[in-house]
Structure 1
Amino acid sequence: MENLLEVRDLRKSFGATEVLKGVNFTMRRGDVVSIIGSSGSGKTTLLRCVNLLEEFQGGSIHIDGKPVGYVDDNGRRRRLSEREIARGRAETGMAFQQFNLFPHLTAAGNIMLGLTKVKKLGKAEAGGIAETWLKRVGLEGREDHYPGQLSGGQQQRVAIARAVAMEPKLMLFDEVTSALDPELVSEVLQTVKDLAQDGMTMLLVTHEMRFARDVSSKVVFMSEGRIAEEGDPKTMFADPQTERLREFLSSSVF
């Protein structure tokens, strides 16, 4: 199996502050990779670089063999055209901390928007796909509900359904439970677990340590802009090899 995602020597700075300091890792199709680490370690920045929501200053990212954002052109770094970037971004889906649903559209309408505007599907076909995905995330019968009529957990599940309905090769999750009340967290995590069991390739930034341990095929621990440790989650959680990971896990809630 060839790698679906390859990140090589990735470097990202905000002004004079270097946030990513040469990050390297790979993912294969069907992998579920959780990125863990303390606040400020570069987790979300790494995730946002993967689909170029953040520009990066060095290194390379490839999804299914295609470059993200930049190519090497005779030894010079050249930014891809906006059309090429948009085409590459369509290879990924993303669910954010905030749900980012359109308040004036129903649950089905939010999912249909990308299908009709980007994929150019007819309304009937898009509506059928929306209905199917709402059922998959446990929201059958909520097709005509507006975001304001849904709980936070339900809104997040609509946001996830909206992203996966576009059939991305790689799904990105950025702390999708952090804005939820504790009693709503489990329903969203169950949705992500179901997608993992279906074989979807997923890269997640999460502070849910039990979820990372039990569902991931690999865990990446970041510290100060670098990958400090990575590997099999059960092995890493039971026997961390670095002092930094031991300290992090000892202060985490399971």
Structure 2
Amino acid sequence: MTDPILLQARGVTKSFGGVNVLKGIDLDVLQGQVVSLIGASGSGKTTFLRCVNLLEEHDGGEILLDGEPIGYRDQGGRRVRLSEARVSAQRARIGMVFQQFNLFPHLTASGNVTLGLTKVLGKSKAEAQEIAEHWLDRVGLSAHSARHPYELSGGQQQRVAIARAVAMQPRLLLFDEVTSALDPELVAEVLTVMRSLAESGMTMLLVSHEMLFVREVSDHVLFLEQGRVAVEGPPSQVFDQPENERLRSFLGRFHGLFGASSA
């Protein structure tokens, strides 16, 4: 039996100041899948993630989570913005980990994780603390729960950010170039956590330039080019048998990691 579609996008468009950034994105993410967006900077990957998480308002098309339109409802053929309460409830079902860690500097690692649990989900302090301890342990930071962000390395801060997002029990977890701000030696520890989440069945939509990691963990890969999906398919097809010239050129930047680089 096929897993249900958790996230569905149809004809999603977005413009900034007259520049069309998204030109009709179609995408399906099945429950339990890891789907990756790759492409050059400016191709629309991050903008699409921000539309999914309601940090940007898409101009046209439709994004559905569990079959429910995100951000808007149709009323007599017009798109009507949902109430802020409803938007907040939808956003709570979607976790996002950013390029920058976005931790609260005055809170400890544990405090950063428990804040959303108490303020958004209404958990008691005791329950929130138990959940925080569980997820900080899962990301290898149980010994650092009382430390503030300035006392942690970049990789450790990003792992706190991941623990914070997962602790909210989102239906979908978004990752936006989460290793791009890290020194190379810290990248592996974050990718290890992400790989563990993927193996546990977490539904993930990620943007990354870590191509070997994308190839390893993804069930489906989409190559975006100038705001459109130029190529999509399983990793073996996208990376090893690319027929699109722009995709071959893009993969060729990664120093011979893939057969496409010699094409």
% identical equivalent positions? 61
Distance 2:100 2:8 in 1: 27
Distance 2:44 2:128 in 1: 37
How many angstroms does 1:241 deviate by? 2.0
Contact map agreement 1:214 1:234 (CA 8 A) in 2: no
1:146 to 131, 145, 148: 148
Distance 2:101 2:236 in 1: 31
What aligned pairs does 1:158-237 form with structure 2 within 5 A after superposition?
Answer: 158-237=160-239
**Matched residue, 2:246:** 244
TM-score after normalising by structure 1: 0.99
Write out per-residue CA displacement over residues 155-207 of structure 1, whole angstroms, 9 at most, x where no aligned residue: 00000000000000000000000000000000000000000000000000000
- The answer to whether residue 38 in structure 2 is matched with residue 36 in structure 1 is yes
Residue type of the partner of 1:237? F
Contact map agreement 1:32 1:218 (CA 8 A) in 2: yes
What aligned pairs does 1:86-101 form with structure 2 within 5 A after superposition?
Answer: 86-101=88-103
How many angstroms does 1:2 deviate by? 2.0
Distance 1:52 1:6 in 2: 14
What aligned pairs does 1:18-29 form with structure 2 within 5 A after superposition?
Answer: 18-29=20-31
What aligned pairs does 1:7-86 form with structure 2 within 5 A after superposition?
Answer: 7-86=9-88
TM-score after normalising by structure 2: 0.95
Distance 1:178 1:236 in 2: 22
How many angstroms does 1:252 deviate by? 2.3
Distance 1:99 1:4 in 2: 26
How many angstroms does 1:81 deviate by? 1.0
Write out per-residue CA displacement over residues 102-145 of structure 1, whole angstroms, 9 at most, x where no aligned residue: 11100001000001111111111111110110000011211101
Query: In structure 2, the residue corresponding to 1:251 is in which secondary structure?
Result: helix
Residue type of the partner of 2:82? L
- The answer for unaligned runs of 5 or more in structure 1 is none
Of 63-72 and 189-198, the range deviating more from structure 2: 63-72
**Matched residue, 1:4:** 6
RMSD: 0.8
What aligned pairs does 1:83-122 form with structure 2 within 5 A after superposition?
Answer: 83-122=85-124
Detail structure 1 runs of 4+ shifted over 3 Å in the superposition.
none
How many angstroms does 1:240 deviate by? 0.5
Query: When the two structures are aligned, how many residues end up with a matched partner?
Result: 254
- The answer for unaligned runs of 5 or more in structure 2 is 258-263
Distance 1:234 1:132 in 2: 35
Distance 1:83 1:113 in 2: 19
Write out per-residue CA displacement over residues 200-232 of structure 1, whole angstroms, 9 at most, x where no aligned residue: 000000000000101101111000000000110
How many angstroms does 1:36 deviate by? 0.3
